[in-house]
């Protein structure tokens, strides 16, 4: 049972902190970097969950059945993953050879669930004909932010392995983190489909029409404002 009576200790005022095994390291150590990125990613998942749960199931036009579907599927998936990321952060806060015996670790089961969910979502999605630009309804746009953040976590895990050696992290950890970004991408597509929001497809530069920017539109708006002010 975890019992926290106060948050501040003063132990990190000098730029060091303790790992799970009690050893002290600089807060700039690559291991603390991955732990911090787990925390950051988890916070982003919480923000996505907030946006999902605040979607309104009714509009002026009637009931939005897609909202109910998204909340019934995506909310518990995100909540489950938040717990798993906390587990992951605790594991990464200690070298593998010093992990406490009581600590339960992410297993192939959790990684397989991500794949199973992706396959279920993909069954109702049309194949992509281009890359997708990060956009859409608030929860979908935030899923893009979260998937890019977990790629940053993945790169930090690789750097940790390069710094401490291949045994610094269990291979399954890297595989699990790698799947999370794809999981969020597919989740975002499925969520957008349920919310009936269009995907913004990337158009390569060579296929886009010449673009002169919006300066002319800005000047026209200013001219209209000036005309109204002179009346």
Please check whether residue 101 lies inside any domain of the structure: yes
Is the pLDDT assigned to residue 6 strictly greater than 60?
A: no
Q: What is the pLDDT of residues 123-150, one digit of tens each?
A: 999 998 899 999 989 999 999 999 999 9
- pLDDT tens figures, 159-208: 999 999 989 999 999 999 999 999 999 999 999 999 988 889 888 888 88
Residue 173: burial class (beta carbons within 10 Å; 0-12, 13-18, 19+): buried
Q: What is the pLDDT of residue 123?
A: 96
What CATH number did the domain enclosing 137 receive?
1.20.1200.10
Q: Return the pLDDT at 205.
A: 87
Separation of alpha carbons 128 and 199, rounded Å: 10
| pLDDT over threshold 90, residue 84 | yes
pLDDT in tens, 15-57: 655 555 656 665 668 888 999 999 999 999 999 999 999 998 7
DSSP state of 16: E
- The verdict on residue 181 lying in a domain is yes
Tens digits of residue pLDDT in 48-82: 999 999 998 776 555 577 899 999 999 999 999 99
Residue 143 placed within a domain: yes
Up-side HSE of residue 102: CA atoms within 13 Å toward CB?
3
- Number of structural domains in the chain: 1
pLDDT for position 93 = 87
Tell me if 8 is assigned to some domain.
Answer: no
Confidence of residue 11 (pLDDT cuts 50, 70, 90): low
149-167 core/surface letters (b: 16 or more CB in 10 A; e: else): bbbebbebbeebbeeeeee
| 112 occurs within a structural domain | yes
pLDDT (0 to 100) of residue 104 = 86
Structural domain harbouring 110: 16-230
Could you give the CA distance from residue 91 to residue 200 in angstroms, rounded to a whole number?
38
Is 35 part of a structural domain of the chain?
yes
Paired tokens of 135 = 């956009």
Q: Which of 5-19, 61-75, 211-225 is the most confident on average?
A: 211-225
Whether the Cβ atoms of residue 48 and residue 132 lie closer than 8 Å to each other: no
Q: Does residue 37 belong to any structural domain of this protein?
A: yes
The pLDDT value recorded for residue 14 is 56
Query: Would 108 be classed as within a structural domain?
Result: yes
In the structure, what pLDDT confidence band is assigned to residue 89 with cuts at 50, 70 and 90?
A: very high
């Amino acid at each position: 049972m975890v019992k926290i009576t106060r948050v501040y200790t003063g132990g990190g005022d000098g730029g060091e902190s303790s790992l799970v095994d009690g050893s002290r390291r600089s807060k700039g150590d690559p291991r603390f970097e991955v732990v911090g990125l787990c925390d950051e990613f988890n916070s982003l998942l919480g923000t996505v969950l907030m946006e999902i749960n605040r979607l309104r199931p009714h509009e002026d036009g009637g009931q939005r059945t897609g909202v109910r579907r998204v909340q019934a599927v995506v909310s518990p998936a995100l909540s489950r993953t938040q717990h798993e990321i906390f587990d992951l952060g605790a594991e990464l806060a200690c070298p593998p050879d010093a992990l406490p015996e009581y600590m339960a670790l992410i297993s192939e089961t959790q990684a397989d669930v991500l794949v199973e969910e992706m396959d279920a979502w993909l069954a109702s999605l049309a194949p992509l004909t281009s890359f997708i630009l990060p956009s859409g309804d608030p929860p979908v746009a935030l899923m893009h932010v979260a998937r890019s953040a977990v790629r940053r976590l993945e790169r930090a895990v690789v750097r940790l392995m390069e710094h401490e050696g291949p045994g610094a992290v269990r291979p399954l950890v890297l595989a699990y983190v790698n799947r999370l970004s794809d999981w969020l991408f597919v989740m975002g597509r499925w969520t957008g489909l349920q919310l009936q929001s269009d995907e913004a497809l990337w158009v390569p530069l060579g296929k886009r029409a010449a673009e002169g920017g919006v300066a002319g539109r800005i000047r026209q708006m200013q001219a209209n404002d000036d005309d109204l002010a002179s009346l």
